[in-house]
Copies of this chain bind each other. A is one copy, B any other.
Amino acid sequence: MNMQYIEGGICAPKGFQAAGVHCGIRKNKTKKDLALIVSKVPASAAGVYTQNKVQGAPITVTKANLTAQNGYARAIICNSGNANTCNPNGIEIAQKTCALVGETLSLPAESVLVASTGVIGMELSLEPFQTGIPAVVNALSDSGSEDAAHAIMTTDTVKKETAVSFVLDGKTCHIGAIAKGSGMIHPNMATLLCFITTDVAIGPALLQQALKEAVDESLNQVSIDGDTSTNDMALVMANGMAENKEITEAGSAYSQFVQALTAVCVELAKKIAADGEGATKLLCCKVSGAPDVKTARVVAKSVISSSLFKAAMFGADANWGRILCAMGYADAEYDISKTSVALRSPAGRIEVCENAAALPFSEEKAALVLAEKEIHIEINLHQGAASASAWGCDLTYDYVKINGDYRS
């Protein structure tokens, strides 16, 4: 597929505007804390949510609104600084937030989706929204993606934004996305939020399927610290303004769309992992030669989730025994005895293990390979043709510092 990475983030697709402002939920006035994304026309919408039993009030309200509007939406509103989770009046606050956006834009409240990220169990007042929502609506623009990306950041050190263009039956289509992940100024959890816009024409049901396929291969393969947030959410809005023939079945156009959507999500997954709390290195683990994709995914994710392996990567220690150990406790059925492992970075590649046993290698070369900022762990199970990747980061002093600090 012919696909290009382009500028513009969530405003790259036709008919989307965005903005980010400071509304007062966070004390630091230089930090934006309210983001808004609006489609000029009703958009098919879909979402995937945290599997945690504790679910933030915004998740409940977003699901209900999507259902009420039969899978269509016009806007996404998101605050940082407060997760609006474990609050007795959380649902009411989230509903009123949607209502305020709806009033200001002359839209039904139910056409607005809502997300929050921040401290759990801290009361959230409607007040900052009352002044903030008119302000963020006023700030809406075709170049507002960057401000929105900043407004959803917490302990993130860089904004996460990407966009692609590609052609479907002669029409240029776009997908844009912003995301946040990896912790909070008032640290509570590595909440992952991802908002995707596209001008592709596709109905809500197929959009939901496409989102799940893309997220399973990308955002769900990221781990910073093994803690599944109460507020994780990925939302997509597709407004059809690219004027491609509407995708109505899982054929060639659908496949191309999923491929582009997956590329966008993988790009964000890598950005999130690289900016994990305290991280100094991006870890990319690719498992190939697997009997099926599920096995490859589970094994890859187990490796990049291992605290011991993550600490070894921080120390640039080619301690491949920890890779085998993490593979061994992954919840998957396969024969581990044929495993080969190599470590690769811009500084070179070293094979460290074959048939699950040691290969001789130069510790000097290994230290050079592992001194780089992006480390690839290449695992071959030698028992099939399936493969999958997972992304993580090293475990550092700063992770402990960020999360050990007082909330205030």
Taking Cβ atoms with an 8 Å cutoff, the residues of A that contact B are 51-55, 83, 85-88, 119-123, 187-190, 225-230, 305-308, 311-312, 314-317, 319-322, 324-330, 336, 353, 356-358, 363, 395-397, 399-408
Contact = CB atoms under 8 A, between A and B. Distances in A.
B405 A317 contact: yes
A86 B52 CA distance: 37
B86 A311 contact: no
Given A52-B329, A121-B353, A317-B405, 18 more contacts: A53-B327, A53-B328, A54-B328, A55-B328, A88-B357, A120-B325, A122-B358, A187-B308, A189-B308, A189-B322, A225-B308, A226-B306, A227-B307, A228-B328, A308-B403, A311-B402, A316-B406, A395-B403
A306 B319 CA distance: 24
Contacts of A325: 52, 54, 120, 188-189, 227-230
A173 to B, nearest CB: 36
Contact of A329 (B51, B123, B319, B327): B51
A336 B54 CA distance: 7
Contacts of A121: 320-321, 324, 353, 357-358
A329 B54 CA distance: 8
Contacts of A353: 86, 121
Contacts of A330: 53
A344 B353 CA distance: 47
Given A86-B358, A327-B54, A119 B321 contact: yes
A19 to B, nearest CB: 29
B307 A188 contact: no
Contacts of A122: 358
Contact of A356 (B86, B225, B226, B404): B86
A398 to B, nearest CB: 9
Contact of A321 (B85, B228, B397): B85
Which of A225, A319, A395 is most buried by chain B, counting CB atoms within 10 A of its CB?
A319
B358 A307 contact: no
B336 A53 contact: yes
A363 B186 CA distance: 15
Which of A321, A399, A406 is most buried by chain B, counting CB atoms within 10 A of its CB?
A321
Contacts of A405: 315, 317
A403 B227 contact: no
6 contacts: A119-B321, A189-B322, A226-B226, A226-B306, A227-B308, A314-B404
A314 B213 CA distance: 39
A314 B187 CA distance: 14
A324 B54 CA distance: 7
Nearest to A329: B228
Contacts of A311: 399-400, 402-404
A105 B87 CA distance: 67
Nearest to A89: B357
Given A226-B226, A308-B403, A52 B328 contact: yes
Q: Which 4 A-B pairs have the closest CB atoms?
A: A120-B321, A315-B404, A311-B403, A54-B328
A400 B403 contact: no
Which of A230, A403, A406 is most buried by chain B, counting CB atoms within 10 A of its CB?
A403
